[in-house]
Chain A
Amino acid sequence: MSDRLLEIDGVSKQYRLGAIGGGTLHGDLSSWFARVRGKDDPNVKIGKEHVNYNEKFWALKDVSFDVNRGDAVALLGRNGAGKSTMLKLISRITAPTEGEIRIRGRVASLLEIGTGFHPELTGRDNIFLNGAILGMSRAETAKKMKQIIEFSEIEQFIDTPVKRYSSGMYVKLAFAVAAHLDPDVMICDEVLAVGDLAFQQKCLTMMGNIARDGRAVLYVSHNMRTVSQLCSRGLYLDTGRLEYDGTVERAMELYGGSSARSARRNLDEVPRTKNRGDTMRMLSIQFENTQSLEYEMDSNMEFTLTSISHIAEPRMRIRLILQNSIATPIAMTQTDAFEVQAEETFSRRITFPLDGIAPGEYIIKMSLVSGTPQGRTCYYDTIVDVSRFIITDDPAANAGFVWTEHLWGSLRLKPLEMR
């Protein structure tokens, strides 16, 4: 019983779409007044989907799980699956609609690195402030000050205002504070993506130690390398429901299959950012000659992209941005310009030569663009994670060396010539 640090018991969180109101007292009063007189609400946008107004939306639905001492749990799921909402509830940032969360001991949640850091204050002042925000007393912080500074690797800048720090130093300092909270449950949301790889490694080791010490870690990341290194248990969330609770390997498989590595994907319903996908929209993508989206080095990727255009565009291009597994852009390539007609549904079969891309896991970001004669780019539609794929390693092609992504990067250049 006392092994249990965290119990999530039938937790649901509901948001009301569009029900936040006009945001101004004037707006709400005029809506109310119009209703009283039986007129149309002046604040409802005409032509917008009326159905959505006041519709309820469950970000999480009846999720239950426990975290015990020694657990390192990965919370996996696509964007919008409810991972962040779950972490917000456990961190007490917002209250659940139903259910109960029970916590034993101290929860340290790192939903963002350096929360409450003030740029004008020195590193040392910020350590105290950040420590207090995270729930440490002043005396506790003072006692750990030396360790914190040591861990952060920035001794010589500790009395400089943090506004002069590089983003890497900032992250190091912030993580150092959080690392010394002595939490019983540590919650970490993608915050490691910013630091350099050596520091990431240090943080992962530190989190691993927390779990080994008989405390617990709850980790959210899209970076499967760190997930598999740190976690032994995986939870897989899909559209607000807990679909799987078990080994991290199986959870990663579920996650990998859910969006990423499937040979065909419907793109019509993938959420876009504002102003994207209205005049033109990518509908589906079909990867040819593959089931697993694993490719050998220097081979070709073949896919067919089907899109619809509501306007005529003489200088249409399909643009592909290659990102590594933590969504850092690496390279860009695009098709030649082609012409589309208004209301045309067009399919193009595309060959993507994978020459020079190093072994590893990648994410494809894709856009429909056109170049204006003035040299500007017009983006019609963009999807940030069209698909993931893997380039498999073949050490024989590299004089017997296994490709080490965190040291060597993602581009495999031609061999050096020597005379």
Chain B
Amino acid sequence: MDNTRKNQGWDTIIRPKKGWLDIDLGELVRYRDLIWLMVKRNFTLLYKQTILGPAWVIIQPLLTTVVFTVIFGNIAGLPTDGMPKFLFYMAGNIVWQFFAQCLTVTSTTFVTNRNLFGKVYFPRLVMPFATVLSEMINFLVQFVLFLPFVIYYALQPGSAVNPNFRLILLTPLMLIQLGVLGLGFGIIISALTTKYRDLAMLVTFGVHLWMYATPVTYSTSLIAEKFPKLLGLYMLNPITPIIEQFRAAYLGVPGYATGYTLLSAGVTALVFLLGVALFSHTEKTFMDTV
């Protein structure tokens, strides 16, 4: 009773941290200008003092796709569901890279911004959100590069490429889900790595392994054919249905996604909430440990 009276008229009340659900997402909205300026900063910095400038965003996926095409497509001879190999790998690669970048960059939020966080207060979640938006811009650049290939292959006589326009309309949803999932996993790791630095090593390594558990360099039908019993387990990977959906949309590959998409969305929401809770719990005192 006494407490409520005392609290009247104060704009901010700072108390010892307690509980796990002390989260103020409304504050993020008030700091939207900062998020936007951070995105702008990241974008500007990416292109300053690099020889090739913006070209990096394009060269990196192109080269990776060429390497995948040669190694997995031609040398290993993995089937690509009858799709042009280059297009098949490119679709998987840009989607995966977007997720992987969101995850790895946000996973170092506390460590990279130590100096800034130690000197001034703003909602710490601004930084991971800005990262995801920056990565989304990079993805869009790569996506614009991807589209002409889709059109080129689709227009070839007798081509198997058959974009599904209804699914294409869902692209923004896929992107948001990927971003949120990458952010969720990233901030969970960032919250844990303030105490245990060696987890950070695991991230690069883990993301690499995770890519092989995802149909980036091969097709899900290969798993269905070789390990039919493991398919259910395989599809639990929340990224798999999104990549499947993406390929189904732009290439017209018959996907395995359907029911698993909902599951993946559920996992995404869960990971995100867990991440935000862990992150908010850490942000109040991490300056004492970093």
Contacts and interface: CB of A to CB of B under 8 A. Distances in A.
Interface of A: 1-2, 7, 15, 20-21, 23-26, 28, 88-107, 109, 111-112, 115-116, 118, 120-121, 125, 128-129, 132-138
Contact of A20 (B9, B11, B116, B289): B289
Interface in B25-52: 31, 33-34, 36-38, 40-41, 44-45, 48-49
Contact of B15 (A20, A100, A112): A100
A335 B37 CA distance: 56
Most central of B13, B14, B44 by chain A CB within 10 Å? B14
A236 B53 CA distance: 54
Interface string B104-141: 00000000000011111110000000000000000000
A26 B13 contact: no
Nearest to B118: A93
Most central of B17, B44, B288 by chain A CB within 10 Å? B288
Contact of A94 (B33, B120, B198, B288): B288
A264 B41 CA distance: 54
Counting from the closest, the 6 A-B pairs by CB-CB distance are A92-B121, A132-B34, A25-B196, A101-B14, A95-B284, A103-B12
8 contacts: A24-B197, A28-B196, A95-B15, A95-B284, A100-B14, A102-B13, A104-B10, A120-B49
Contacts of B31: 132, 135
B121 A93 contact: yes
Interface residues of B, number: 40
Contacts of A129: 37-38, 41
Given A26-B198, A88-B287, A115-B120, A99 B45 contact: no
A133 B122 contact: yes
B14 A25 contact: no
B9 A98 contact: no
A136 B32 CA distance: 11
Contact of B120 (A23, A103, A109, A118): A109
Contacts of B37: 128-129, 132, 138
Contact of B198 (A25, A91, A102): A25
B199 interface: yes
A386 to B, nearest CB: 30
Contacts, number: 113
A20 B37 CA distance: 34
Contacts of A125: 40-41, 44
Contacts of B41: 118, 121, 125, 129
* Interface residue SS majority, chain A: loop
Contact of B122 (A28, A88, A100, A135): A135
A162 B181 CA distance: 36
B208 interface: no
A180 to B, nearest CB: 16
A137 B288 CA distance: 29
B12 A102 contact: yes
A203 to B, nearest CB: 18
B285 interface: yes
Given A25-B199, A116-B116, A118-B45, A96 B16 contact: yes
Nearest to A111: B119
A192 B230 CA distance: 65
B198 A104 contact: no
A102 B10 contact: yes
Contacts of B9: 1-2, 104
B49 to A, nearest CB: 7
Contacts of A132: 31, 33-34, 37
B195 A21 contact: yes
Most central of A24, A102, A125 by chain B CB within 10 Å? A102
A94 B16 contact: no
B15 to A, nearest CB: 5
Contacts of A104: 9-11
B33 A137 contact: yes
Nearest to B286: A94
Nearest to A97: B16
Most central of B7, B16, B119 by chain A CB within 10 Å? B119
A133 B13 contact: no
Contact of A96 (B12, B14, B122): B14
Given A23-B197, A28-B196, A121 B14 contact: no
B44 to A, nearest CB: 7
Nearest to A11: B14
Contacts of A15: 288
A120 B15 contact: no
B116 to A, nearest CB: 5
A103 B14 contact: yes
Contacts of A120: 44-45, 48-49
A416 B89 CA distance: 82
A121 B195 CA distance: 32
A227 to B, nearest CB: 22
Contact of A95 (B14, B33, B44, B198): B14
Nearest to A140: B33
Contacts of A24: 196-198
